[in-house]
Amino acid sequence: MASELFNKGLEVRKSVLGKEYVEKSIAGADDFAMAMQEYATEACWGMVWTRPGLPRKTRSLLNIAMITVLNRPHELKLHIKSAFTNGVTKDEIKEVLLQVATYAGVPAGVDGFRLAREAFAEMEAAKK
């Protein structure tokens, strides 16, 4: 049975990442992987993303910076694409990636820009 925190997190997660993506992730999780789905939904989305201290747009920009530094390309593209639902613009993503390059290193920034461009191209292709 899902907890109240899971349900709150699931609502935010679907709102930010997209209902189809989230439902596919949860449906595709076996007994082993479901623990991670539950943890991410409750802790990240239910406990943190629902807090009033930062708007979702700021959280998206922070995620882009941190995930770039952590070198997690799949998650970076996902969060770049979903950031637009929180009001983030391409120019803001560009500025965040320049900030990353300055403080975390040019290679991280270069990869971030490359992955952002791939994400933008995938978004454009999906519109067609």
pLDDT tens sequence across 68-79: 999 999 999 999
pTM for the predicted model, two decimal places: 0.92
pLDDT value of position 48: 97
Cα torsion for 56, 64, 80, 7, to the nearest 10°? -40
Q: What is the pLDDT of residue 2?
A: 78
pLDDT at 128 over 90: no
Above pLDDT 70, what percent of the chain? 99
Q: For residue 1, what pLDDT is reported? A: 67
Nearest CA to 76 out of 48, 113, 105 is that of 113
Q: What are the chain's domains?
A: 1-53 (no CATH), 54-128 (1.20.1290.10)
Q: What does the mean pLDDT of the chain come to?
A: 96
